């Protein structure tokens, strides 16, 4: 089965990101395909490389990056939600006159069209968070 995943909550404010990650990992282990993971609303905060959790806590951003690298997952942040929360790739940072970018490895920024495409191309779109 081809799955799309939508994450609407931040990494440390709600269990949605943890649950989405565990779901994705389990689905891949069972042989399912993940078409795309789309991060929307506060979920875009899963994509910042500036997150530094305590050493005894889980590093959710790193988990997503590693899973993406291992399985060639497409991790997409909504551009409007990301910019509102200060997340930018190199191109957006330059375009807005910012001195740096802050996307974690494996993440990219795109528009809501990517979410629509995910719903069309996937057998199921599984939503985590409000």
Q: Tell me the residue range of the domain where 24 lies.
A: 2-128
Domain count, the chain: 1
Q: With contact defined as beta carbons under 8 Å apart, do 7 and 107 qualify?
A: no
> What's the CA gap between 102 and 51, in Å, rounded?
10
CATH number, domain containing residue 59: 3.40.1260.10
- Quick one: tokens of 79? 């551009």
User: What is the structure's pLDDT at 104?
Assistant: 97
Write down the pTM of the prediction: 0.96
Q: Choose the catalytic residue: 16, 78, 81, 103.
A: 78
50-78 pLDDT, tens digit each? 999 999 999 999 999 999 999 999 999 99
CA distance 18 to 22: 6
78 is a catalytic site residue: yes
Task: Dig out the tokens for 128 from the structure.
Answer: 């985590």
DSSP assigned state of 100:
-
Q: What is the pLDDT of residue 29?
A: 98
């Amino acid at each position: 089965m081809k799955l799309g995943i939508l994450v609407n909550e931040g990494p440390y404010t709600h269990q949605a990101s943890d649950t989405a990650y565990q779901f994705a990992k389990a689905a891949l282990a069972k042989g399912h395909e993940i078409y795309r993971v789309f991060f929307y609303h506060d979920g875009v905060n899963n994509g910042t490389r500036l997150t530094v959790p305590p050493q005894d806590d889980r590093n959710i951003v790193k988990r997503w990056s590693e899973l993406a690298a291992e399985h060639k997952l497409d991790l997409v942040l909504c551009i409007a939600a990301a910019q509102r929360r200060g997340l930018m790739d190199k191109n957006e940072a330059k375009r807005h006159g910012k001195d740096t970018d802050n996307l974690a490895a494996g993440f990219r920024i795109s528009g809501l069209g990517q979410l629509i495409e995910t719903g069309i191309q996937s057998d199921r779109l599984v939503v985590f968070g409000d």
